[in-house]
Structure 1
Amino acid sequence: MKFRQEEDSIGVIDVPEEAFWGAQTQRSLTNFPQDVETMPENLIRAIVYIKKAAAIVNANEGKLDEEKRDLIIYAADEILKGKYTDQFPLTIWQTGSGTQTNMNVNEVISHIANAKKGEKLIHPNDHVNMSQSSNDVFPTAMHLSTFINLKDNLFPAIEEIIKSLEKLEKENDIIKTGRTHLQDATPVKLSQEISGWKVMVERDYEILKEVSKYLRKLAIGGTAVGTGINAKKNFGDEMASELSKELASEFVSDTNKFYQLSSKNALVNTHGAIKTLASDMYKIASDIRFSSCGPRCGIGELIIPANEPGSSIMPGKVNPTQVESITMVAIQIMANDLAITMANSQGQMQLNTYMPLIIYNMDQSISLLSKSLTCFRKNLLEGLKANQEKIKENLDRSLMLVTSLSPHIGYDKASKIAKYAYQKGLTLREASHELGYIDEKDFDKYVKPENMV
């Protein structure tokens, strides 16, 4: 491999000749673990958008001439077209401020711009990083990338899940045995059970949209510690305005940059809402797993699609693989939430230095849940069927129908009928007849599942 020499404040270092990065990126590659988790592409794109916006704002403020502005914009646009994805190799396990990744972007933009110009006109710090610090760029990028990721990926996936559940609810106006504590309970409609699932997702979605609004507030303009040193007073407002245009979403400069640099609670709250949704999806998936267990020796009231063979040894077996997939994803998201919460708690003085960990877990959670919801919907919900014969069989055998007798003969007598029927292997009607607590005409009048739902 051929090398060229690059220099920074530490000194001279060899950089691969074909690399577009510079000395600080190379030092990070040398000093931190390699072949492990790298910075999310969504975050890199967000930083590039920040650099492009900063070039425009700095030029408007008279701090950057038009030629330098245009070269930085050109380089940023080239990256945003996806041409240089291999030039951002740094791990998340670096400095907690993300400084090396900020400089990685600065250096690559500088290199592309200078290659176009044919001379070293653009400096990564003096020009690309003008009026900025890693300490306000990185948290701004975290907010931008998370907000856009939610809007473009997770929100649409949630909306499709809600539509699918609405369809299932309308199609399944069937009375079935209710279950509490995984034991037989009074009847419920399958549509009512599904409506509970639907509302879980709807309420989680409402909360997620509400808490994610705080991601619109940006740290940019705070520079190193929140005071805005080396940036003009209105730089943050102008950056928020420019980024709003670029990303077709409304962003604002936060009124308190000290808060934005030292706390990541907007991200903690957002991920908390994502975790809540994941936990409810776990519950929905588990309900389907229990209700579909069988097909002959379990509850068997739901029939799941046969997407793939379920066993390497048992022919004809079908397993709830979509359930298993999304519940594993839910557990991963719960683990990510703990990591994000712990990372936020470790902010010290004017800066939180656990930001790469936070954004990696956030990006993974959104990506995993978005894709998992889509698979769960297409490969399970859209093919889920009610086993009406099994549902009727279980309902007819349920002892908890006796609950409807309690107002007429009392709790104690109703309880004796249920226990007697269970012990003797009788139906409720047969047990009631033998005990003589109520005549058959009144029994038929009161024990009607359709009046119990």
Structure 2
Amino acid sequence: MRQEKDLLGYRDIPANVYWGIQTLRAVENFPITGTPISHHPNLIKGLAAVKMACAQSNAELGDLDPAIASAIIGACQRIIDGEHHDQFIVDVIQGGAGTSTNMNANEVIANLALEITGHERARYDIINPNDHVNLSQSTNDAYPTALKVSLLYSIEDLKAAMRHLENTFEEKADQFYTILKMGRTQLQDAVPMTLGQEFKAFAIMIGEDRARIDEVATLLTEINLGATAIGTGINAPHGYAALAANYLSAVSGFNVVTAADLVEATQDVGSFVQLSGTLKRVAVKLSKICNDLRLLSSGPRAGFGEINLPAMQAGSSIMPGKVNPVIPEVVSQVAYEVIGNDVTISMAAEAGQLQLNAFEPIIFHKLDSGIAHLTAACHTLADRCVSGISANQERLRGMVEQSIGLATALNPLLGYSVATSIAAEALASGRGVAEIVRERGLMTQAELDLVLSPERLANLRPRVGDAEERAQVSKEQLFEEPQP
């Protein structure tokens, strides 16, 4: 053991750890979730990036001894490279507006820097967590800046996962390009479309939300580093804020900029609220898509049965042969979590008082957890569900032929009154629209084949690269005059 002292007194610290007395007190004070901040690896990386940028700035301005700065920078680089994350042990939910997280980082970096320079841990008279690692900073500017850098790292992973899911839906849309099916509104037959069009819409939905994530990420690049306690910049040297932003941009790879008004930026968490709302939008869309996949694959005999989801596991402990849509189910549950997180984040943001929001720990925990879970959900949905979906083409075609929705396609050719009478007879008799049209002698089979082609029914356009262009069938191609 080693002994350390703070304003409350002395405590024994295990000799082999890099954290110190303030970290120990935080662990004792906040036994809330049992989940340490190292659960968010990008947060640890973001903290180290901020501390490195600050050390570089302080050294350039002449406020930090170059040898101490070099040791701090070396310690931060090790953490950025993934080392010693197990030393970040304070709980993810904590009081103190993130001070415990900041001090955990300061102590670990100071002791690593001491080790780099050949000194024993806790020789804070040589390299001090507060005087050197936290120089020109407050938790109130270093911590939220680290949160933003962390979230930017995590968002990159989410965007890649969403792009993968989008591409997987695109591939299925191409595979199902000409497969006819009935479209539905309010769960009632509407008009024909293709399964490819349905899956293309899913791809576009994911792509649009990925663009929204890109937009909200730009809000996170505005930082308040240099604001120190409340935004006045007390104890930070002239020129420090701009210099720190430049160094942090280089370290993190994100082009961060200093906020125009640091007092406002220190108390405002609007960018986190905006990000949460965007994540909720992604979650809502994902769950809607999963609902559709479950509905379209329902059955296999007594449901829609239009598509087959890949069988991933036995679905029941009592019903032999039952297979459940477990992948869409788990993705929807992630969506419900993210939607619930948005409520927590909204309440925590609203609760901020005067010059600081003390509830950023829970805001960040819910944001980063939601991003991580959405990232995993997108990969899981793409790889373990969408990529293996197949179509029941005969059933799809049969439902089109039996649906009275076909009468809508005949409107321009036969007239509304005739089409209505055909629809009414089909509904009353249970027979297909095409069968009744043939029986009445209104159209030949060859004409029906043209009218009921995917190209005409679904307004399908030829794909680039198709060997033959599909002709669009018009009324004039089929009839000189409407049939009686």
Report TM bin, short chain: over 0.9
How far is 1:415 from its partner?
A: 4.7
Give the Å deviation of 1:295. 1.8
- Cα distance in structure 2, aligned partners of 1:35 and 1:330: 21
State the alpha-carbon separation in 1 of the partners of residues 81 and 194 from structure 2: 52
CA contact (8 A) 2:290 2:328 kept: yes
Q: 2:46 — aligned with what?
A: 46
| 1:266 aligns to 2:275 (yes or no) | no
1:7-406 matched pairs, under 5 angstroms: 7-34=5-32, 36-39=34-37, 40-116=40-116, 117-118=118-119, 120=123, 121-151=126-156, 153-172=157-176, 173-406=178-411
**Deviation at 1:50?**
1.0
- My pick for the range that moved more, 172-181 or 303-312, is 303-312
Q: Which amino acid counterpart does residue 260 of structure 2 have in structure 1?
A: T
- What is the rounded CA distance, in whole Å, between the counterparts of 2:96 and 2:424 in structure 1? 64
Contact 2:30–2:91 (8 Å) recurs in 1? yes
In 1, the alpha carbon distance for the partners of 2:379 and 2:92 equals: 28
Q: CA deviation at 1:218?
A: 1.0
Residues 248-287 of structure 1 show CA distances to partners (whole Å, capped at 9, x for unaligned) of 2211112221222111111221222222122111111111
Q: Using structure 1 for the length normalisation, give the TM-score.
A: 0.92
- 2:467 corresponds in structure 1 to none
- After TM superposition, give the deviation of residue 409 of structure 1 in Å: 6.7
2: CA distance, partners of 1:149 / 1:299 = 38
Distance 2:311 2:343 in 1: 35
Give SS of 2:18's match.
coil
Which residue number corresponds to residue 442 of structure 2?
Answer: 440
The answer to whether the 8 A contact 1:344-1:352 is kept is yes
Q: Give the deviation of 1:183 after TM superposition.
A: 1.6
Indicate conservation of the 8 Å contact 2:224/2:258, yes or no. yes
Task: Look up the SS of the partner of 1:62 in the other structure.
Answer: coil
What whole-Å deviation, never above 9, does each CA across 1:39-76 have from its counterpart, x for those lacking one? 22221221111111111110000000111111212222
Q: Give the CA deviation at 1:38.
A: 2.6
- Alignment partners' CA distance in 1, 2:222 and 2:128: 29
| 2:2 equivalent among 1, 4, 9 | 4
1:397, distance to aligned residue in structure 2 (A): 1.2
How far is 1:340 from its partner? 1.4
Contact (CA 8 Å) 2:297, 2:306: kept in 1 or not?
yes
Unaligned runs of 5+ in 2: 459-484
Alignment check: 8 A CA contact 1:429 1:440 kept: no
- What CA distance in whole angstroms lies between the structure 2 residues aligned with 1:248 and 1:100? 26
The residue type paired with residue 163 of structure 2 is E
Letter of the 2:9 partner, please give it.
G
SS of the residue aligned with 1:105? helix
Contact persistence 1:401–1:447 (CA under 8 A):
no
CA RMSD in angstroms comes to 2.2
Aligned to 2:184, what secondary structure does the other structure show?
strand
Q: The residue matched to 1:176 in structure 2 has which SS?
A: strand
Classify the secondary structure of the residue corresponding to 1:440.
coil
Q: Alpha carbons of 1:431 and 1:242: their partners in 2 closer, same or farther (altered >3 Å)?
A: same
Aligned residues with identical type, % of pairs: 37
* 126-135 or 70-79: bigger deviation: 70-79
* Partner SS for 2:305: coil
Distance in 1 between residues matched to 2:362 and 2:420, nearest whole Å:
56
- Structure 1 match to 2:457: 452
Which residue identity lines up with residue 52 of structure 2 in the other structure?
K
> Following the alignment from structure 2 to structure 1, what is the Cα–Cα distance between the partners of residues 273 and 32?
28
Post-superposition offset of 1:413? 6.5
Equivalent residues of 1:107, 1:124 under 8 A apart: yes
What is the identity, as a one-letter code, of the residue corresponding to 1:67? A
Once the two structures are superposed, residues 97-138 of structure 1 have per-residue CA deviations (whole angstroms, 9 ceiling, x without a partner) of 100110111111112222343252111111110000000011
Deviations 1:182-228 (A, max 9, x none): 12111011111112111111111111101211111111111100111
The DSSP-based 3-state class of the residue aligned with 1:89 is: coil
Shift of 1:12: 2.2
User: Any idea what SS the aligned residue of 2:127 has?
Assistant: coil
Name the count of aligned residue pairs: 447
Q: Does structure 1 retain, via aligned residues, the 8 Å contact 2:33–2:92?
A: no
Between the aligned partners of 1:387 and 1:238, the Cα distance in structure 2 is 62
Give the gaps of 5 or more residues in structure 1. none
Cα distance in 2 between the residues matched to 1:248 and 1:124: 26
Give the distance between the partners of 2:438 and 2:81, measured in 1 at CA. Answer: 79
3-state SS in 2 of match to 1:185: strand
Q: Is the 8 A contact 1:142 1:359 kept in 2?
A: yes
- CA distance in 2 between partners of 1:34 and 1:353 (Å): 17
Matches of 1:348 and 1:175, distance apart in 2: 58
1:401 touches 1:449 (CA, 8 Å); kept in 2? no
Kindly provide the amino acid, as one letter, of the partner of residue 443 in structure 2: K
Following superposition, the deviation at residue 318 of structure 1 comes to: 2.0
Does the 8 A contact of 1:96 with 1:355 survive in 2? no
Which stretch has the larger CA shift, 395-404 or 63-72?
A: 395-404
TM-score of the two chains, using structure 2 as the length reference = 0.87
Q: Distance in 2 between matches of 1:358 and 1:402?
A: 54
Deviation at 1:420, TM superposition (A): 4.0
Q: Aligned partners of 2:399, 2:96: CA distance in 1, in Å?
A: 57
What CA distance in whole angstroms lies between the structure 1 residues aligned with 2:181 and 2:47?
54
Letter of the structure 2 residue corresponding to residue 440 of structure 1: L
Q: Which amino acid aligns with 1:260?
A: A
Amino acid at match of 1:441: M
SS of the residue aligned with 1:271?
helix
Letter in 2 for 1:66: P
**Aligned partner letter, 1:289:** R
Per-residue deviation, residues 128-161 of structure 1 (Å, max 9, x unmatched): 100000000111011100011112x111111111
